[in-house]
Structure 1
């Protein structure tokens, strides 16, 4: 499907990748935005981001995906990193239980720096390493349900569910934004006022969407 020019879009959504170092955040980013995977990728230093434009329900969505180092020494960048984010992928490595145990801390940090309505997806990466699994899918699903977030397992290496995970979170953000725009316009189908802007969504609408269920592995 042909898309319009890179600078011609209906909505711009900032989504952040967070989680421990080495869980595969950078490869998830490169797989989604460039369909590339690097076996010798080095730890991210500071912050980097990439963009990709997709279509969601007839609208052109430009996703600005931010990736940051998971190491503690880069914590000072958090406020600027999270500012304006309307979605977050909370990433752990299914072969390293400590990265899943640390998810709770990352989630607390995310919520302390963002609007309460930020759409969150828990992502268990490296799902291709089935023989090394250390985190049960049931435990991750239970955590996601408890925290009212979406959940999916991915493999950046084998390109499993990467496209689906990003598309799903962008779709959920768009649906919430569309609903709020329609309400603000008194039910009129005119969302031009929000075109090309990073937006804030309402937590009640996000919760209503999450109750309908979403994604498995």
Structure 2
């Protein structure tokens, strides 16, 4: 993976954000997806970090830029800039701590206040490997996701369970929306071309086309 923000060989650059309470496993989900690494002694994130992974869709290459931020309130001053330009969000809770699940409502409110209204959102119940410590059932997460029209998956960054699927679902939905917007923009451009006096051609500037509303998915 290159270190530049945008590489010539990439057709799309997608910004995504990870949100949720401190210590729910956001950083380990990110490192598992981008580097296939997991650290049991992972330290709390301070400020903002991000990582990349390139994903190929047919003949198109998308660079996924995934941002990870501290869950602690004292680091939340960067909220609006953190969400700016994000096309997808993963809201993470810890299945062994009920309060982290309760706080998903707060994170969703913040996301909808500062984020793009067409953002693809995936709800993730992490640490599914800790079955003996579970306090949030999969059915609880699934019911909440259906209520809020979100995709839902349970993951284990430690056991590498559903991590790839959760991220790839989000990135694939973003790609589908971006491709549809690109297609609609080209169709509108063709429609709005007008020839004057048989000689001069004027191309009107096209307003951004609204993204198609994402469909929800729920998998336990």
Contact 1:176 1:202 in 2 (8 A): no
1:216 aligns with 2:219: yes
Give how far 1:201 is off. 7.8
1:166-181 residue pairs with structure 2 within 5 A?
Answer: 166-181=167-182
Structure 1: runs of 5 or more not aligned? 189-199
Structure 2: runs of 5 or more not aligned? 190-207
Give how far 1:55 is off. 1.3
The CA deviation string for residues 170-216 of structure 1, in whole angstroms up to 9 with x for no partner, is 0001111111211111189xxxxxxxxxxx8845x124x33xxx341
1:62-141 residue pairs with structure 2 within 5 A?
Answer: 62-141=63-142
* Higher alpha-carbon Rg: 2
1 CA distance for matches of 2:70 and 2:165? 24
1:33 aligns with 2:34: yes
Contact 2:21 2:72 in 1 (8 A): yes
Contact 1:82 1:113 in 2 (8 A): yes
Contact 2:126 2:157 in 1 (8 A): yes
> Residue 194 of structure 1 corresponds to which residue in structure 2?
none
Q: Which deviates further from its counterpart, 116-125 or 54-63?
A: 54-63
Q: Which deviates further from its counterpart, 175-184 or 37-46?
A: 175-184
> Residue 191 of structure 1 corresponds to which residue in structure 2?
none
Give how far 1:33 is off. 0.6
1:186 aligns with 2:187: yes
> Residue 50 of structure 1 corresponds to which residue in structure 2?
51
For CA contacts below 8 A with separation 6 or more, give which structure has more relative contact order. 1
2 CA distance for matches of 1:36 and 1:162? 12
1 CA distance for matches of 2:188 and 2:130? 48
Alpha carbon RMSD of aligned pairs, Å?
1.8
1:195-206 residue pairs with structure 2 within 5 A?
Answer: 202=210, 205-206=212-213
TM-score, length-normalised on structure 2? 0.85
Q: Secondary structure at the match of 1:89?
A: strand
2 CA distance for matches of 1:162 and 1:202? 29
> Residue 162 of structure 1 corresponds to which residue in structure 2?
163
TM-score, length-normalised on structure 1? 0.86
